[in-house]
Amino acid sequence: MIVLGIDPGLATLGWGVIESAGGRQRLVGYGCIITKPDQTLPARLMAIQNEMIALLSLYHPDEIAFEELFFARNVTTALTVGAARGVSVAVCAAQTDKLYEYTPMQVKQAIVGYGKAEKRQVQEMVKLLLHMDDIARPDDAADALAIALTHSATGVSSAQFLMK
């Protein structure tokens, strides 16, 4: 099974692709979709849409996992990141209905075993689990790989994380 993990963002959207088979995970690829602050919001959203379409065409994921958004303070940031996430979800929904979402705490729990783990701990575990030489950079790409690993670990329980 090919799993695409997505860490939504407007300026930087992280993505990570793993192959999961027989309880083992293999790194396929990772990176980020970057948009520039001097672009208009519509131009940034179109760039995300186009690059997401290209990712789906390249990797043909069987299932796609997103990190749920959580913002406590900055409403403006929440709205623009929500717009970027919405574009990503719509593009992915056109390919498959196997869309899942996980909270940051669920990802930390699945990867490190502790829901309040530090970002560095999650990054080190992703590196170990995927037999990488270095931690994935930037952080958004490492987060996306953690999301993909979290999804692959849910197995038969994944239905409870299906996007509603």
Residues 2-161: name the CATH superfamily: Ribonuclease H-like superfamily/Ribonuclease H (3.30.420.10)
Per-residue pLDDT of the chain (164 residues; tens, 9 = 90+): 999 999 999 999 999 999 999 889 999 999 999 999 999 999 999 999 999 999 999 999 999 999 997 765 677 778 888 999 999 999 999 999 999 999 999 999 999 988 888 889 999 999 999 999 999 999 999 999 999 999 999 988 999 999 99
Altogether, the residues listed in the chain come to a count of 164
Which is catalytic among the residues 51, 63, 67, 143? 67
Is 134 an annotated catalytic residue? no
Is 62 an annotated catalytic residue? no
Which is catalytic among the residues 51, 63, 101, 140? 140
- Give the chain's radius of gyration (CA, Å): 15
Whether the CB-CB separation of 153 and 29 falls below 8 Å is answered with no
pTM over 0.75: yes
Is 133 an annotated catalytic residue? no
For 14, other C-beta atoms within 10 Å of its C-beta total: 25
What integer pLDDT is reported at residue 75 of this predicted model? 75
